[in-house]
Amino acid sequence: MPTAILAGPPVPGSSLEGDLRALGFDVRTAPGAPEARELIASAPAADRVALVDPRFVGHLHALRLALTDPRFPAAAVPGALTAQPEARPALLRALSTLAADATPARTGAAEPHAAATAGAPARHDTEPPAPAPRFTTAPAGQDLADRAARALDADGTAVTRPELGSLVAAVPADAPAREQAAAEVAAVDDEAVRLRSAVKARDGFFTTFCVSPYSRYLARWCARRGLTPNQVTTASLVTALIAAACAATGTRGGYVAAGALLIFSFVLDCTDGQLARYSLQYSTMGAWLDATFDRAKEYAYYAGLALGAARGGDDVWTLALAAMVLQSCRHFVDFSFNEANADSATAAADGKAVVGTPTSALSSRLDSVGWTVWTRRMIVLPIGERWAMIAVLTALTTPRTVFYALLVGCAFAACYTTAGRVLRSVTRRSVRTDRAARALADLADSGPLAETVARAARRPARALRGPLPFLIALAGGAAAVAMAAFGPLDSPVLVLGALVYVLTSGFVVARRMGGALDWLIPPVFRAAEYSTVLILAHRVDLPGALPAAFGLVAAVAYHHYDTVYRIRGGAGAPPRGLVRLLGGHEGRTLLVALLAALSTRAFDLPSALTVLACAVAVIALTESIRFWVSSGAPAVHDEGETA
Round to whole Å and give the CA distance between 289 and 275: 14
| CATH code of the domain in which 505 resides | 1.20.120
CA dist., res. 553 & res. 401, Å (int): 23
Helix (H) or strand (E) holding 204: none
312-342 pLDDT, tens digit per residue, is 999 999 999 999 999 999 999 999 999 998 8
DSSP string, 480-502: HHHHHHHS-TTSGGGGHHHHHHH
Residue 117 clears pLDDT 50, i.e. is over it = no
- Domain edge (last residue) among 130, 155, 188: 188
Let me know if residue 154 belongs to a domain. yes
The model's confidence at residue 107, banded by pLDDT at 50, 70 and 90, is very low
Please give the tally of structural domains in the chain.
2
In which band, very low, low, confident or very high, does the pLDDT at 344 lie, cut at 50, 70 and 90?
low
**Is the pLDDT assigned to residue 343 strictly greater than 80?**
no
Percent of the chain with pLDDT over 90: 70
Average pLDDT over residues 210-215: 95
pLDDT band at residue 145, thresholds of 50, 70 and 90? very high
Query: For residue 223, is it within any domain?
Result: no
**Average of pLDDT values for 187-207?**
92
What is the sign of the dihedral through the CA atoms of 542, 547, 551 and 554? positive
pLDDT number for residue 601: 53
Q: Is the dihedral of CA 218, 223, 228, 231 positive or negative?
A: negative
CA separation for the pair 427, 168 (Å, rounded)? 44
User: pLDDT by residue (tens digit) across 259-318?
Assistant: 999 999 999 999 999 999 999 998 877 877 887 899 999 999 999 999 999 999 999 999
* CA 367 – CA 18 distance, rounded (Å): 45
DSSP 256-318: HHHHHHHHHHHHHHHHHHHHHHHHT---HHHHHHHHHHHHHHHHHHHHHHHHHHHHTT---HH
Lowest mean pLDDT among 73-82, 83-92, 287-296, 435-444: 287-296
- What's the pLDDT at 415? 95
Average pLDDT over residues 248-253: 97
594-621: average pLDDT: 88
Q: Please, what is the average pLDDT of the chain?
A: 87
119 compared with 13, residue with greater pLDDT: 13
- Kindly state whether residue 348 falls inside one of the protein's structural domains: no
Which residues neighbour 514 within 8 Å (Cβ) at sequence distance 6 or greater?
432, 436, 437
Give the amino acid at 575. P
* Among 124, 153, 188, residue at a domain's last position: 188
DSSP letters for 59-112: -HHHHHHHHS-TT-SEEEETTEEEE-GGGHHHHHHHHHHHHHHHS--TTSPPPP
275 in a structural domain? no
pLDDT at 350 over 50: no
Name 346's bridge partners.
430
Q: Which of 172, 188, 204 is the last residue of a domain?
A: 188
Query: Looking at the predicted structure, is the pLDDT value of residue 425 above 60?
Result: yes
Residue 419: Cβ within 10 Å count: 11
- What is the per-residue pLDDT for 432? 81
Q: Identify whether 196 is part of a domain.
A: no
365: confidence class by pLDDT, cuts 50, 70, 90: low
Q: With beta carbons less than 8 A apart as the criterion, state whether 428 and 357 touch.
A: yes
pLDDT of residue 462: 87
What's the rounded mean pLDDT across residues 97-107? Answer: 62
Q: Which of 523, 635, 630, 491 is nearest to 574 (CA)?
A: 630
pLDDT given at position 367: 56
Report the pLDDT averaged over residues 5-19.
Answer: 89
Instruction: Kindly state whether residue 344 falls inside one of the protein's structural domains.
Output: no
Of 25, 34, 186, 2, which Cα lies nearest the Cα of 100? 34
- Per-residue model confidence (pLDDT) at position 542: 87
Residue 127 reports pLDDT greater than 60: no
Pick the more confident residue, 352 or 465: 465
146 pLDDT band (50/70/90 cuts)? very high
Residues facing residue 5 across a β-bridge? 28, 51
Query: Which range has the worst mean pLDDT, 67-71, 115-119, 560-564?
Result: 115-119
Residue at 9 is within a domain = yes
Q: Is residue 313 part of a domain?
A: no
Give the three-state DSSP class for 419.
Answer: helix
Tell whether the model's pLDDT for residue 102 goes beyond 70: no
> Taking residues 512-531, what's their average pLDDT?
95
543: containing domain? 433-636
Residue type at 428 in one-letter notation: R
386 or 71: whose pLDDT is higher?
Answer: 386
Taking only the tens place, the pLDDT of each residue in 34-78 is 999 999 999 999 999 999 999 999 999 999 999 999 989 999 999
